Amino acid sequence: MAGSWLIDDGLDRERMLDMDRRIAPVRRRTFAVLAVALLACGPWLGWWTIAPLLGAGVLFAAADRVTKRMRRPELGLFAAWAGAEAIVAISVALSGGPEVATLSWLAIPVVTLASRFSIRGIVAGVTIALALLGAVAFGGDAAAVLDEPPLVVAPAALIVSVAMLSTALMRSDLEFRSRSVIDPLTGMLNRSALAARVGELSQQSAISGHPVSLVLADVDEFKALNDSHGHSTGDAVLRDLAYRLRKRMRAFDLAYRIGGEEFLLVLPGSEPAEAVAFADQLCAAIAAEEFGGIRVTLSCGVAASAPGSTFQYEEVFAAADTALYEAKRSGRNCVCAAPVLVGAAIGP
């Protein structure tokens, strides 16, 4: 799926959702630290300042549920981020405006921008933070700010500096991690990234009981294509094919290149019939298109974990691999599904 103004492409969306899952527990602990600080300062600042912070926690909890169903979850996450920043601003305003130390708290949410959004999202977030800073400062006590500009200049510099440093650190980390989990030819995730994700999928299925479907796709007669057109043409076909595969997937589906011309598509929450229908549509779409003037076809094997069971990757993958072999034997350019659902029932 294509990106948006907040992220560049589907791969960035996958990274954003993964990072948000990692940030969530830290975010809750951060809100707890701020809540304790406000409670400790209650005799001086007032006890009501804790209410907006609790509202921010509720906002993020609601966003976590809603974004999972959104076609472009980055929009929901950014809206939740902006809402939380506004709530922090309200807490600061209630605690005393520009003359209290809590004004610098507006820099805290800025730390998370670079871990999820593109440079456009970072700029938009910093702009929102600075606008809220100005609103709190001048709305609370404009005369004090005009008499003592450092009251605003210092926290504004902190917000911008935090954004710059976190962006540089995140870009460095992404470059390092990309070397180990991104296939350099197609830009897709590789086996290393898959290994890290499998455990999370198993845990999620154990909690939700929802099935996880695998579609194992292989380019038909790819060796012959390489022999007749050259490896550079074969590489170009794989790059274009990977791009078109990602465009046809939902925001929370996962795509991996696990072999030379073999791709694994992971469809969390998809029933077997849905996965087969998706694979059928995918094969038909690829067969109808040209890749640099060359037509290629896919063979697909589909397998799924049983609803109400824990996702066992090795077993489901083995079933999908067997189904793929059957698709090859059946003449290629087709989809075969494993005859049984795989998985042991979740215990009480």
- CATH code for the domain in which residue 228 is found: 3.30.70.270
Q: Identify whether residues 117 and 23 lie together within a single domain.
A: yes
What pLDDT sits at residue 8?
72
Average pLDDT over all residues of the chain:
85
Q: Which residues pair with 255 in a beta bridge?
A: 265
Q: Residue 119: CB partners within 8 Å, gap ≥ 6? A: 167
Residues 104-116, mean pLDDT to the nearest whole number: 87
Q: Please, which pLDDT band fits residue 207 given cuts at 50, 70 and 90?
A: confident
What confidence tens digit (pLDDT) does each residue in 223-248 have?
A: 999 999 999 999 999 999 998 898 88
Q: Which residues pair with 336 in a beta bridge?
A: 301
Residues 264-270, mean pLDDT to the nearest whole number: 93
CA distances to 121, 134, 136, 139, 268 from 131, in Å:
15, 5, 9, 11, 40
Q: Which residues are catalytic, by number?
A: 261
Q: Residue 297: CB partners within 8 Å, gap ≥ 6? A: 219, 220, 283, 286, 287, 332, 333
Q: Residue 203: what residue type? A: Q
Q: Identify whether residues 160 and 232 lie together within a single domain.
A: no
CA distances to 2, 138, 275, 337 from 6, in Å:
11, 30, 29, 37
What confidence tens digit (pLDDT) does each residue in 21-54 have?
A: 778 888 788 878 878 887 888 787 777 767 777 7
What pLDDT sits at residue 306?
87
Q: Tokens representing 117? A: 């959004």
The C-alpha R_g of the chain, in whole angstroms, comes to: 25
Q: Which residues of 38-67 are buried (b: 16+ CB within 10 A; e: fewer)?
A: beebeeebeeebbebbebbbebbeebeeeb
Say if 5 falls within a structural domain. Answer: no
What pLDDT sits at residue 3?
61
Q: Identify whether residues 257 and 313 lie together within a single domain.
A: yes
User: Number of structural domains, the chain?
Assistant: 2
Q: Identify whether residues 147 and 281 lie together within a single domain.
A: no
Q: Identify whether residues 28 and 77 lie together within a single domain.
A: yes
Q: Which residues pair with 335 in a beta bridge?
A: 300
- Three-class SS of residue 257? strand
> Which of the listed residues 147, 180, 213 is the one where a domain comes to its end?
180
User: Which residue bears the tokens 């460095």?
Assistant: 172
Q: Please, which pLDDT band fits residue 189 given cuts at 50, 70 and 90?
A: confident
Q: Please, which pLDDT band fits residue 250 given cuts at 50, 70 and 90?
A: confident
Task: Note whether 314 and 305 are within 8 A (CB).
Answer: no
Q: Identify whether residues 137 and 210 lie together within a single domain.
A: no
Q: Identify whether residues 173 and 204 lie together within a single domain.
A: no
* Range name among 17-21, 113-117, 203-207, 317-321 with the lowest pLDDT average: 17-21
- Going by DSSP bridges, is the β-strand pair 335-337/262-268 parallel, antiparallel, or unpaired? unpaired
- Residue in 290, 288, 293, 281 with CA at minimum distance from that of residue 334: 281
- Residue in 74, 80, 76 with CA at minimum distance from that of residue 118: 74
What confidence tens digit (pLDDT) does each residue in 69-81 have?
A: 777 888 888 988 8
CA distance 8 to 136: 33
Beta-sheet strand order (sheet of 298-304): 254-257, 262-268, 212-219, 298-304, 335-337
What confidence tens digit (pLDDT) does each residue in 125-162 have?
A: 999 999 999 999 999 889 989 999 999 999 999 999 99
What pLDDT sits at residue 219?
96
Residues in the chain, how many?
348
- Three-class SS of residue 14? helix
Query: Which residue range is the domain that position 45 belongs to?
Result: 10-180
> Which of the listed residues 151, 180, 209 is the one where a domain comes to its end?
180
Q: Identify whether residues 20 and 169 lie together within a single domain.
A: yes
Secondary-structure percent of the chain, ordered helix, strand, coil, rounded to 5: 65, 10, 20
CA distance 261 to 219: 6
Say if 105 falls within a structural domain. Answer: yes
Q: Tokens representing 176? A: 């390092």
What pLDDT sits at residue 235?
92
Q: Would you state the torsion angle of the CA atoms of residues 267, 268, 274, 276, taken in this order, to the nearest 10 degrees? A: 40
Say if 348 falls within a structural domain. Answer: no
> Which of the listed residues 149, 180, 211 is the one where a domain comes to its end?
180
